[in-house]
DNA sequence: AAAATATAAGACAAATTTTATCTTAATTTG
DNA sequence: CAAATTAAGATAAAATTTGTCTTATATTTT
C-alpha cells in the first residue's frame, strides 16, 4: 500500500518546477539534482509526463520542460495515474467483471468505497499547493473531515 | 497504489471463516478452496495471522483455525498491516526522520494527511461486515462523507 | 503404539514489478 | 559544424511478490 518511487520523484520534480518563475524551461539535470533522484530515471519519468500532456518538452540546446497545464490544475491523483496507471486498490474495485468471484464478490463494494475516498483525497491537493509557503502545508483534509 | 494479493486472500479467507457458525475450526484446505487461492500460499498467510493473534491455530487431526478476536473487531486496516506491514504511502508519511529531505520536505504534510484519511476508511470496515447479507454491503462511507 | 491429519517453520524458487542505466537518434541553438 | 538537450527503446539490476516444497511437530483416532 505505497505509491511508487517513480510517482514520488514525479511529484517532487513537478513541485521543483512550480517553484521556478512561471514559464522557466527546466532541465532534467537540474530537476534531478534538486530532488535527489537519478537523472536518467527522472528523464524517463518526464518523458511520460510529456506524453500525457501536462508538461511540454523542448529538444535541443536550451531545451527542457515547461508546464503545459497550470500547476494549480495538476492534482496528485493526476500525477500518480500518469506514472503508475489507474488507482485500483484491489482487483475488483472498479468493475465487477474484473473480479474473480464475479457476481458474488463480498468485498467489492468496500473497495469501491475506499477507492472513492482515496481518489477524492488525492485530488484535493495540487502541485501548486507545495510551491507556496510551507507553513500553509498542514494536514488540511483530515482536520476538516471528521468521520 | 494497490493492496497485495496476499492481503486480498487474507481478507477473503477471514470473511469465509466469519460466515461459518461461530467457533468452527476451519482447515486451510477449505479456506483456500472457497477463496480461489493456492492452499500453500494461504497456509503461509494464516500462519502470519495466527502469529499476530487475531486467529488461533490448532495442530493435528481436527486442527485448523478459529477467530481469536471477534470478526467485528478485525478491521481491514488490521489485516493489511499484519500481512503487508504498516501503511506508509510514501517514505516520509509518518515521521520526518524517514524523509530524505528531512526538515525541508514539501510533500510531508500532504502524505500524512492522505494517510490519515485512508486509515480511517480502512478502519471503518470490519471482517464481520462482509459475512452479513450482501445487500447491506453498499458504498457507505463515500455517500456519508462529502468532501 | 501406530497411522492419519493438520499446522509450523523455513528454505527455496519462479514471476513480476520496480528502479534504474545505457546507447543511439533526433532536434535546436549558436 | 559543435554542443546541448530530449526521445525512444533495449537492457539489466534489484527488490518484491507470489508461490512451492520439505521436514518437523502436535493431535486425534484406531
**3-state secondary structure string across B84-120:** HCCCCECCCCCCHHHCCCHHHCCCHHHHHHHHHHHHH
Place of cell 506508509: B88
- Answer whether residue B80 shows pLDDT above 80: yes
Which of chain B's residues have a Cβ under 8 Å away from the Cβ of A109? 137-139
Top-confidence residue, A142 or B64: B64
A3·B90 Cβ contact <8 A: yes
User: Does B107 contact A117 at a Cβ distance shorter than 8 Å?
Assistant: no
pLDDT confidence band for B132 (50 / 70 / 90): confident
Torsion region of B59: left, alpha or beta (phi above 0 gives left; psi -120 to 50 gives alpha): beta
Cell of A93: 474495485
Residue with cell 474473480: A100
Average pLDDT of chain A is: 88
Q: Among candidates B110, B81, B4, B108, which has minimal Cα distance to A77?
A: B110
At B136, the pLDDT band (50, 70, 90 cuts) reads low
Output the CA–CA distances (angstroms, integers) from residue A135 to A8, A129, A140, B104, B109, in the order listed.
21, 11, 12, 11, 10
Residue of chain B nearest A5, judged by CA positions: B90
What integer pLDDT is reported at residue B117 of this predicted model? 94
* pLDDT number for residue A106: 81
| B57 min Cα distance to partner chain A (Å) | 25
**Which of the four pLDDT bands, split at 50, 70 and 90, describes residue A31?**
very high
User: What is the pLDDT confidence band of residue B138, given thresholds at 50, 70 and 90?
Assistant: low
The pLDDT value recorded for residue B131 is: 86
Comparing A19-23, B59-63, B134-138, the range with the smallest average pLDDT is B134-138
Higher per-residue confidence, B83 vs B132: B83
Compute CA B24 distance to the chain's CA centroid, rounded to the nearest angstrom: 21
> What CATH number has the domain spanning A5-131?
1.10.10.10
Which CATH code for domain B5-135? 1.10.10.10
Among B41, B66, B71, B39, CA closest to B55:
B66
Q: What average pLDDT does the segment A91-101 reach? A: 57
Q: pLDDT-derived band of residue B44, with 50, 70 and 90 as boundaries?
A: very high
**A86, pLDDT greater than 80:** yes
Which residue in chain A has the smallest CA separation from B121?
A114
What mean pLDDT, rounded, does chain B reach?
88
Tell whether the model's pLDDT for residue A43 goes beyond 80: yes
Identify the CA nearest to A110 among candidates B141, B131, B6, B16.
B141
Stretch A56-84: mean pLDDT = 97
Check whether B22 has a pLDDT greater than 80.
yes
A8, A12, A109: residue with CB nearest B137: A109
Contact A122 B137 (CB under 8 A): no
Nearest protein residue to nucleotide D17, judged by CA and C1' positions: B4
Query: Distance (Å) from the C-alpha of residue B2 to the closest C-alpha of chain A?
Result: 4
Q: What pLDDT is attached to residue A5? A: 95
Give A80's contacts in chain B (Cβ within 8 Å): 1
CB B121 within 8 A of CB A118: yes
State how beta strands B64-67 and B55-58 pair: antiparallel
Among all strands, which nt has the closest C1' to A38 (CA)?
C20
Query: Dihedrals φ, ψ of B87, to 5°?
Result: -80, 115
- The contacts of residue B80 (CB under 8 Å, 6+ apart) are A1, B3, B7, B87, B122
Contact list in A for residue B109 (CB cut-off 8 A) is: 137-139
Does B100 or B105 have the greater pLDDT score? B105
Give protein residues whose Cβ lies within 7 A of nucleic acid chain D: A 26-29, 43-44, 46-47, 50-51, 57-65; B 4-6, 9, 37-41, 43-44, 58-63, 84
Q: Is the pLDDT of residue A97 over 80?
A: no
Tell me the mean pLDDT in the region B113-140. 84
Residue with cell 462523507: B145
**Closest partner residue to A139 among B106, B112, B122, by Cβ?**
B112
Residue B93, all three cell numbers: 508519511
Distance CA A135, CA A121 (A): 20
Segment B49-63, tens digit of pLDDT: 999 999 999 999 999
Question: Is there a contact between B88 and A1 if contact means CB atoms under 8 Å apart?
Answer: yes
Q: Where do the H-state alpha helices sit in chain B? A: 5-19, 28-33, 39-52, 76-84, 108-123, 141-144
Distance CA B37, CA B33 (A): 7
Provide the residue ranges of all domains of chain B, joining segments of one domain with +: 5-135
| B147: nearest Cα among A123, A129, A113, A17 | A123
If pLDDT is split at 50, 70 and 90, which confidence band does B25 have?
very high
Amino acid at each position: 500500500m505505497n505509491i511508487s518511487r517513480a510517482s514520488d520523484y514525479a511529484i517532487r520534480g513537478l513541485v521543483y518546477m512550480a517553484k521556478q518563475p512561471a514559464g522557466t524551461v527546466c532541465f532534467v539535470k537540474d530537476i534531478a539534482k534538486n530532488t535527489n533522484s537519478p537523472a536518467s530515471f527522472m528523464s524517463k519519468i518526464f518523458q511520460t509526463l510529456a506524453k500525457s500532456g501536462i508538461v511540454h518538452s523542448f529538444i535541443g540546446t536550451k531545451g527542457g520542460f515547461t508546464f503545459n497545464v497550470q500547476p494549480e490544475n495538476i492534482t496528485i491523483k493526476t500525477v500518480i495515474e500518469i506514472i503508475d496507471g489507474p488507482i485500483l486498490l484491489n482487483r475488483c474495485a472498479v468493475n465487477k467483471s474484473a473480479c474473480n468471484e464475479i457476481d458474488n464478490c463480498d468485498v467489492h463494494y468496500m473497495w469501491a468505497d475506499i477507492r472513492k475516498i482515496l481518489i477524492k483525497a488525492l485530488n484535493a491537493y495540487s502541485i501548486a499547493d507545495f510551491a507556496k509557503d510551507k507553513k500553509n502545508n498542514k494536514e488540511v483534509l483530515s482536520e476538516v473531515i471528521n468521520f
